[in-house]
Amino acid sequence: MVPVLAFDIETVPDVEGLRRLHGLDNAIPDKSVAEMAFQLRRQATGSDFLPPHLHRVVAISCALRESDSFRVWSLGEAKDGEGELIQRFFDGLEKYTPQLVSWNGRGFDFPVLHYRGLIRGVKAGRYWEMGKDDRDFRYNNYVNRYHLRHIDLMDLLALYQPRGSVALDEIARLLGLPGKRGLDGSQVWDTYLAGGLADIRRYCEADVVNTYILFLRFQLMREALTAEQCRAECELVRSTLGKSAEPHWKEFLSRWRAPDDG
C-alpha cells in the first residue's frame, strides 16, 4: 500500500525576522515585537494573522499509516531548530513518497514551509518534483492544487471555494471526534511564551489524528474504502493510541464518540 501521511504544523511569530525587517533593538521583549507586528497587520488587513513568511515553525506532527502499522509523533525534539524540523519533514517525503493529507495545508502549512524552508536552506527535491526526473509526477505531484498526491481535505471538500471552508474542530466534532484539545491556534503564541512547547506538540499531534480519521471518512464517502475497511482502520488507530501511556491520548480516546466508524 502507498503510505499515507497526515501532517500539521504549529507556528509562532518570527520575532528575529521582525526585528530585522523593522530595525528593532534586541532589548525589546519578544512579546512587544510580536504585538507591534499584530497591530500593523490589523491596520492593513483587519486581522492580526501574519503572512506566511513571518511564521516560525515550532512543531510539525505526523500520523503515518504504512504496511500494517499506524503511528503518530512530532518531528525531532523540542530543542531542535526550525530548519531541522522542516528538513526532517521533507526527508520523510524523500523516504516514503507518501499520500499527503492535510487540513488547509495548501492555504497555510505549505506556504509557511516553502518560505521558511527557503530561509533555512532546506532541501526538498522529492516534494518539488513535477515530472522532470520522475514521469509519474508529471500528472500527479505534490505541488499542483488539482492533483491528489497531496489531498488538502478542507480545500477539496469546499470545492476550492474559500466560502465553503470549515474549521477542523467543527467538522471533527460533528463526526463524534474529539476535535481540538486544550488549545486553539490563537493560544499557541501565549503558550509558547509560557514555556508550553510540549503542550503545543501534543495539541498538534491530536490535530493530525483528527485529520487522518476525517481522511478515512472521506475515503469511505468516495468508495475507496468499504465500511468494513473503514472500521478496521479506525480500530487500528484506537488500538495504537490505547497502547500509549501519554495522558493526551487517553483523553482523546475518551472523547472519541463516533457512533459508527463505517
- pLDDT surpassing 70 at residue 258: no
pLDDT of residue 180: 84
Instruction: Calculate mean pLDDT across residues 121-128.
Output: 98
Instruction: For the domain made up of 4-255, give the CATH fold.
Output: Nucleotidyltransferase; domain 5 (3.30.420)
Which among 217, 216, 208, 108 is positioned nearest to 168, based on CA atoms? 208
Using one digit for the tens of pLDDT, what is the confidence trace for 1-50? 899 999 999 999 999 999 999 999 999 999 999 999 999 999 999 999 99
Domain boundaries, the chain: 4-255
pTM of the model: 0.95
Using one digit for the tens of pLDDT, what is the confidence trace for 236-256? 999 999 999 999 999 999 999
String of DSSP letters for 153-165: HHHHHTTT-GGG-
pLDDT of residue 262: 45
Judge contact between 49 and 62, C-beta under 8 A. Answer: no
- Burial of 176 per CB tally in 10 Å (0-12, 13-18, 19+): middle
Which among 107, 113, 68, 71 is positioned nearest to 88, based on CA atoms? 113
Share of the chain above pLDDT 90, in %: 94
Mean pLDDT of the chain: 95
Which among 195, 234, 186, 228 is positioned nearest to 63, based on CA atoms? 234
